[in-house]
Structure 1
């Protein structure tokens, strides 16, 4: 099977007991054994963090996210790079907020469709949250706010490549 997609996995915080389960879940998706390089997560003592780069067929990103969501009590992000003439995607997950999904361009910027913007504006018109809150939600600001401290705790952490077995 052609490997035409690639992206990154950021496990921001997971208990040590959960680490092997995370590796098994990712292994099942990419079709090859995965051994992540775990380091302590300074932002949340008692938890671990890891980063990896994946390659695989179209849809691997979403399948990794689905597998990781079954491992409760972790924080993670999974991205897929945009291909020429196409879009990428970004998933963020926290136990408190659940999953956030966005379509991204070649620079990693979130792309919001016209219909989603119209819905955010009509929400305001019907007594819902204000426009700023609605746009922040469309851009994943609540997830960014919660994950930012975990992202900085991983600066200069090692990154490992994952390849799908053929």
Structure 2
């Protein structure tokens, strides 16, 4: 039987210096291999550091990475998982005070909203403004709004690779 695999990226947008090594250990526990990230100062948050790492592993690894990183509620991070045979791609974001946002993604990384989600929103929205607000919720606009400044601060940063032990 052939094992299926996928890949994705972990973006740690803001992490206190004291937690950097703990984040690496958490990622190691999920992928089952040593992890050494290249941490850089996060100019959008004084005293914070950022890193990103590409990973390969079995489908569902992205969700396991998110679960491991949620141990520290002060982190800001995103995890992507590309589509694989029988599985949609996903984007998962974490922002303190908002928790986790998780949504399926298309081949180009856009968030996908299902027909049933739109039908429910259209049936329950009391006004055009309520409908617009509902679409923003489905798209994770609050997470994107918070994370955008951190994303731009990391433009051009190097990425390394994680390979899950299989």
TM-score range, shorter chain: over 0.9
1:4-28 Cα distance to aligned partner (Å, 9 max, x none):
1100000000100111111111110
Q: Superposition pairs for residues 22-41 of structure 1, below 5 Å?
A: 22-41=23-42
Q: Does 1:56 align with 2:60?
A: no
Secondary structure of the 1:110 match is: coil
Shift of 1:60: 0.4
Structure 1 residues 67 and 85, CA gap change in structure 2 (3 angstroms): closer
Kept in 2, the 8 Å contact 1:120–1:131? The answer is: yes
Partner of 2:131: 131
TM-score by length of 2: 0.93
Unaligned runs of 5+ in 2: none
Unaligned runs of 5+ in 1: none
Kept in 2, the 8 Å contact 1:92–1:143? The answer is: yes
Once residues 3 and 43 of structure 1 are traced to their aligned partners in structure 2, the CA distance between those partners, rounded to angstroms, is 38
Kept in 2, the 8 Å contact 1:83–1:106? The answer is: no
1:86-113 Cα distance to aligned partner (Å, 9 max, x none):
5200001001211000101111111111
Shift of 1:45: 0.9
Once residues 161 and 92 of structure 1 are traced to their aligned partners in structure 2, the CA distance between those partners, rounded to angstroms, is 20
Shift of 1:118: 2.2
Shift of 1:122: 3.1
Kept in 1, the 8 Å contact 2:12–2:78? The answer is: yes
Secondary structure of the 1:18 match is: helix
Shift of 1:57: 0.6
Matched pairs, number: 165
Which has the higher mean CA deviation after the structures are superposed, 50-59 or 109-118?
109-118
Q: How much is the aligned-residue C-alpha RMSD, in angstroms? A: 1.8
